């Protein structure tokens, strides 16, 4: 008896990733993707054996006529990847994925992974507002939600036993892909599956609006495009493989976002874990007293202290206590440590004594008497 949830799966094995760029390092130590004029194959070594290290065109076929399966596209917001102390990169996790508003401006639908229930794993939905979304840019004005397409293609000259994933966040590449495929579907009875294409990278000058400089800029970009394979000898050589695939009547669905292994996305920055730790420590040390007093962890600690000491601190009281720690290298850490000392002292006072003690009138402590400073 087979496990139904496994035998019912129609997802193809992703046997490699073909990338469109390389990683470069900024002055701050973080990595970012940079476009190149060839296909990057370090995650698809079997393709190198057929096409060499830096091919500028590949022979591909799509396994499905459905564009949602062969080349799903969406607006995606990913968290930053992290380069661990061992040098390995862990890919960013999805925070929000949506289909964007329609041409009339009506909101689409987004899956808000950042707010997934930690206990059940249920992912809530929210309206997808595109550029009007509050999470479109980060706090520094940098774009964090981007268009993204993952094309799943078979390379018949390499292997028929799985698909290769190709990721792009280029509006131009995505539009070019969809324009071409939609046109071919119209000409070919809505079919694109198992039609032999040449996948190429063409240089194109693109104009865009730079929000930081507040002006239009132009630059050359290598766009991923399709063109028909018109080489009769190559088509004849591929016929046997394509006929076998056609007889197989492939039925499958594209891997879900959750099923993709970390690191497949090319559109997140990679932050060195050591650098990130140093930056986080530096940020904590520079936190203002106001920010520390409102920090969720500090607020929770103050609540526990109030319960232990049978007192109530006003926001002003808390701020006054925090300000007494501003000379410390890490204000938040110093406040939390002081609160724990105060809680331990209060609990010790409440411990029953071996000798009877005279009963004194209970007077709630004042904020200035709290012994954490």
Domain assignment of residue 156, yes or no = yes
pLDDT of residue 89: 58
> Are 252 and 333 part of one and the same domain?
no
Ranges of the chain with pLDDT below 70: 1-11, 26-33, 80-91, 208-214, 248-287, 352-373
pLDDT of residue 221: 79
The total number of structural domains in the chain stands at 2
Domain assignment of residue 111, yes or no = no
> Are 53 and 190 part of one and the same domain?
yes
Domain assignment of residue 102, yes or no = no
pLDDT of residue 326: 82
**Alpha carbon separation from 295 to 61, 115, 136, 305, 371 (Å, rounded):** 53, 19, 25, 15, 21
pLDDT of residue 278: 52
* Closest to 155 measured CA to CA, from 45, 253, 248, 247: 45
pTM above 0.85, yes or no: no
pLDDT of residue 53: 92
pLDDT of residue 332: 86
Strand ranges in the chain using DSSP code E only, listed in sequence order? 14-25, 31-43, 57-60, 73-78, 81-83, 89-90, 94-98, 108-111, 125-128, 145-155, 159-168, 197-210, 215-228, 270-272
Contacts of 177 by beta carbon, 8 Å cutoff, 6+ apart: 71, 149, 151, 224, 225, 226
pLDDT of residue 220: 76
* CB of 125 closer than 8 Å to CB of 301: no
pLDDT of residue 224: 85
Residue range(s) defining the domain that contains residue 328: 287-350+363-369
Distance CA 32, CA 270 (A): 7
């Amino acid at each position: 008896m087979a496990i139904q949830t496994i035998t019912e799966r129609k997802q193809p094995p992703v046997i490699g990733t073909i990338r469109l760029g390389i990683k470069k390092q900024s002055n701050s130590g973080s990595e970012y993707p940079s476009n190149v004029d060839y296909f990057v194959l370090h995650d698809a070594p079997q393709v190198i054996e057929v096409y060499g290290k830096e091919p500028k065109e590949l022979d591909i076929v799509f396994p499905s006529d459905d564009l949602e399966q062969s080349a799903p596209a969406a607006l995606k917001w990913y968290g930053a990847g992290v380069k661990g102390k061992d040098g390995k990169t862990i890919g960013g996790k999805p925070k929000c994925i949506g289909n964007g508003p329609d041409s009339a401006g009506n909101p689409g639908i987004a899956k808000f992974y950042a707010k997934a229930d930690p206990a059940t794993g249920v992912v809530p939905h929210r309206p997808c507002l595109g550029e009007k979304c509050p999470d479109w840019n980060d706090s520094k004005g940098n774009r964090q939600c981007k268009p993204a397409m993952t094309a799943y293609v078979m390379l018949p000259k390499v292997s028929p036993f799985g698909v290769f994933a190709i990721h792009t966040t280029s509006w131009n590449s995505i539009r070019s892909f969809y324009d071409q495929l939609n046109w071919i579907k119209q000409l070919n009875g809505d079919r694109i599956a198992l039609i032999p294409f040449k996948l190429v990278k063409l240089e194109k000058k693109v104009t865009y609006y730079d929000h930081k400089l507040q002006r239009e800029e132009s630059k050359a970009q290598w766009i991923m495009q399709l063109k028909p394979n018109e080489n009769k000898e190559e088509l004849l050589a591929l016929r046997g493989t394509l006929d076998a695939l056609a007889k197989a009547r492939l039925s499958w669905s594209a891997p879900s976002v959750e099923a993709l292994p970390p690191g497949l996305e090319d559109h997140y920055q990679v932050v060195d874990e050591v650098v990130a730790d140093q930056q986080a420590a530096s940020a904590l040390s520079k936190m203002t007293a106001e920010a520390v007093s409102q920090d969720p962890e500090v607020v929770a600690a103050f609540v526990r202290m109030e319960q232990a000491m049978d007192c109530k601190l006003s926001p002003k009281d808390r701020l006054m206590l925090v300000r007494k720690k501003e000379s410390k290298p890490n204000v938040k850490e110093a406040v939390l440590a002081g609160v724990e000392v105060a809680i331990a002292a209060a609990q010790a006072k409440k411990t029953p004594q071996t000798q009877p003690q005279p009963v004194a009138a209970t007077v709630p402590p004042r904020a200035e008497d709290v012994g954490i400073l």
